[in-house]
């Protein structure tokens, strides 16, 4: 390979790396953040909405609104990300987030998503073997569970037929699922 060709390859790789860093900055990720506590996928595309949490070096929640959502644009590449649009915030955004009492080295955040505001989710951060971890807990199929994924079955333009919450039961880590009919909620929108 000629020196000129190697230089061009280096330039393309460097440019790609800079674009990846810019995209990460675009969604608001910081070096100490937990990049995905849970996520939403949908029947319309491979892209996913991930919920990340800002934490400091001691794994405590950081900032006034530590939980935030962003797109993992998997159809554009494994590392492509983008912010939610104003319209997407209506369905995937966060209705509220409130800090709760800290106990046993954990920090707790009570949140609700705009798409399902009646279903509160508790995000907990903690240090485990010197590493910061987080999980999201809510009721799934009538039992307390760690929430991994919400799957959205779209019906048509701006309509949702149902969502399915998927997680692991707290007492024994068994997989749990719950389907919630959304047609009544989105009728007439």
Per residue of the chain (189 residues), give pLDDT as tens. 444 433 333 333 333 333 334 444 479 899 999 999 999 999 989 999 999 999 999 999 999 999 999 999 999 999 999 999 999 999 899 999 999 877 677 889 999 999 999 999 999 999 999 999 999 999 999 999 999 999 999 987 778 899 999 999 999 999 999 999 987 665 544
C-alpha span between 31 and 49 (Å, rounded): 20
Give pLDDT, residue 186.
Answer: 54
Give pLDDT, residue 73.
Answer: 96
Tokens standing for 27?
Answer: 């969604």
CA 107 to chain centre: 18
pTM, full prediction:
0.82
Give pLDDT, residue 185.
Answer: 66
Give pLDDT, residue 3.
Answer: 44
Q: Which residue has the tokens 């009538």?
A: 142
- Nearest alpha-carbon partner for 167 in 175, 159, 179: 175
Could you list the residue range(s) of the whole structural domain that residue 149 is in?
3-186
Give pLDDT, residue 187.
Answer: 53
Give pLDDT, residue 182.
Answer: 87
Number of domains composing the chain: 1
Cβ proximity of 176 and 140 under 8 Å: yes
Tokens standing for 34?
Answer: 């937990």
């Amino acid at each position: 390979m000629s020196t000129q060709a190697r230089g061009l390859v280096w330039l393309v790789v460097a440019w790609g790396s800079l674009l990846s860093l810019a995209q990460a900055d675009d969604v608001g990720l910081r070096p100490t953040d937990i990049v995905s506590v849970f996520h939403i996928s949908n029947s319309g595309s491979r892209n996913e909405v991930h919920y990340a949490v800002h934490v400091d070096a001691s794994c405590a929640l950081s900032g006034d609104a530590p939980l935030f959502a962003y797109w993992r644009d998997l159809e554009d590449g494994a590392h492509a990300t983008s912010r939610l649009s104003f319209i997407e915030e209506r369905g995937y955004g966060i209705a509220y987030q409130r800090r709760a009492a800290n106990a046993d080295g954990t920090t707790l955040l009570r949140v609700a998503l705009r798409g399902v505001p009646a279903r509160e989710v508790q995000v907990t951060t903690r240090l485990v073997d010197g590493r910061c971890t987080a999980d999201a807990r809510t009721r799934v199929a009538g039992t307390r569970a760690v929430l991994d994924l919400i799957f959205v079955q779209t019906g048509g333009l701006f309509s949702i037929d149902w969502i399915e919450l998927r997680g692991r039961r707290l007492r024994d880590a068994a997989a749990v699922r719950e389907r919630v009919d959304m047609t009544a909620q989105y009728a007439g929108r």
